[in-house]
Amino acid sequence: MRTPSRELTSTNNFIGELFLAQCEDTHVKHEELLHFLKQIEHYVFKFDGSNCEYEGCLSALASDHNCTRASEKLKTTVVIDFLFLNLSEFWEKKFRIAKYGLDGVNALLDGESKQGVSKVNHLIERMQKKLISWVNETEWAINNGADEAIIEETLQVHHYDNYADSMRKNLQFLMKLEQDYLKCLRDTKREHDFETFCMLMSIFASFENEPDLTFFTFYNAFNAHPKLSFSQLFYDMAENVGESAGVLGSVGFIAGHELSHTLIENANAPQLIPYFSNESMQCIQNQYQKTCDHFVEESCGAADNQIDENGSDMLGLQLAYSLFEEEYQGRMDEEYIRIQNLEEYRSITMEQLFFYSTAFVACSGRSQKQRLGDGHSPWNVRVNAIVQHPGFKKAFNCPANSTMVESFDDQCIIFGKGAPEMRR
């Protein structure tokens, strides 16, 4: 946003001062002053023609011969009192989201990962079926009459892969902003900081519109229930990682994590599903706290605002590993690759590859600490907590006195046979 030469404090003051400058300018006609006010009615209050209402009717100010009084009245009437710095940061974020969204679609169109999108979609469909079968065996859900509602929420989740629609939404968002700006400039004299004024008007005209961040290239994935979205990086991995065990341990874990967000709740205040097991919640948090105690780097802890993320990690890995078991039945100990360590050779099995791949997506190379207000545990805690899965101990033949095994707590079975009963 271009700022005028004098210092600006807020949008209200800027608009009021701009009106005052025009009102006191003998070369500005009454019709031009009236048109300026009509622009505000249209872009800020969303009124057209003569359909304004109450304080949104600004035309009378053009007839007030006391310019200072009219200007002060306008400052208190226009309900857009933002500091310019805050407004600039707000809209920089929206532009950045639109750019990320377009970058993500362009990466799909330019790259070779369309098949990766299909693979991620297929992964989620398989996990949904698996979850439904588990819910049908979950005593705490059945005993509390929540099983059908949980299944319904699970069925609603879908992987959004309409990148043409995402591109259209982002282009429309940017084009409307530009069109409103150019129309305002066309209809208004280009003096007295009108370029800044028209930028403001176009911004407020689009205030309720949001760019689409369904496709993106940075490392992340989202569950905006019922829609799941993934980074282009995960589509590339699904497309190009040669061995399915590696895909399931990495992309499969991430997909399972995002799907699980719909079903993991704080038992004291469930949102999407009607009921969640308090025993399951406590098991999840106990494991994360115990892992934190063993592997703390800078700081960590199992707080209430982390229940959703912690539980989604656990259930997500359980889903991914279950698909791995089905696909590699009888081949889990099969050699994937043989590597040389000094003078010795060591085989990496398919099951070990699965867990190495999970660790890969959790690796940052930086010392980990708990960020204030963040619902995620530090990555070193997350990856060490989820590998309390019995498959990890089996894959690596962990001795009973190893640090990894010492950090294991009770196996947290959230859904399926072995989940808590919790009768009403």
Q: 216 - beta bridge partners?
A: 231
Could you tell me which residue, 314 or 196, shows the higher pLDDT?
Answer: 314
CB atoms within 10 A of CB 292: 22
Buried b (16+ CB within 10 A) or exposed e, 367-395: ebebeeeeebbbbbbbbbbbbbbebbbeb
Q: What pLDDT was estimated at residue 362?
A: 85
Residue 395 above 90 pLDDT? yes
Backbone angles phi, psi at 28, to 5 degrees: -90, 120
Contact yes or no for 126/239 (Cβ under 8 A):
no
- Using alpha carbons, select from 164, 165, 200, 161 the residue that is nearest to residue 184: 200
CA–CA separation, 221 vs 148, rounded Å? Answer: 27
Tens-digit pLDDT profile for residues 84-140: 667 777 777 887 888 888 888 887 777 767 889 999 999 999 999 999 999 999 999
Could you tell me which residue, 137 or 167, shows the higher pLDDT?
Answer: 137
Contacts of 126 (CB under 8 A, 6+ apart): 323
Q: What pLDDT was estimated at residue 3?
A: 42
CA–CA separation, 116 vs 119, rounded Å? Answer: 5
Residue 326 above 60 pLDDT? yes
Question: Domain boundaries in the chain?
Answer: 221-406
Which architecture characterizes domain 221-406 according to CATH? 3-Layer(aba) Sandwich (3.40)
- Using alpha carbons, select from 291, 268, 296 the residue that is nearest to residue 281: 268
Contacts of 99 (CB under 8 A, 6+ apart): none
Identity of the residue numbered 240: N
Identity of the residue numbered 22: Q
- Sign of the dihedral through C-alpha 171, 172, 175, 177: negative
Contacts of 229 (CB under 8 A, 6+ apart): 160, 213, 214, 215, 216, 221, 222
Residue 192 above 60 pLDDT? no
Residue 31 above 50 pLDDT? yes
Q: How many CA within 13 A on the CB side of residue 341?
A: 6
